Amino acid sequence: MRALIQRVTSASVEVDGAVTGSIGSGLLVFFAAGRSDTAEDLSYLCRKLVNLRIFNDDAGKMNLSLLDVGGEVLLVSQFTLYASTRKGNRPSFTAAADPDEGRRWYGRCQDELLRLGIPVETGVFGAHMKVSLVNDGPVTIWLDSAERNQSRRR
Q: Is 80 a catalytic residue?
A: yes
Do 55 and 71 contact (CB within 8 A), yes or no? yes
Task: Read off the DSSP letter of residue 98.
Answer: P
Residue 70 near residue 76, CB atoms below 8 Å? no
Alpha carbon distance 60, 99 (integer Å): 41
Measure Cα distances from 2 to 16, 18, 63, 126 in Å: 26, 27, 23, 16
Peptide bond into 99 cis (omega under 30): no
Of 9, 38, 80, 140, the active-site residue reads 80
Which residues are known catalytic residues? 80
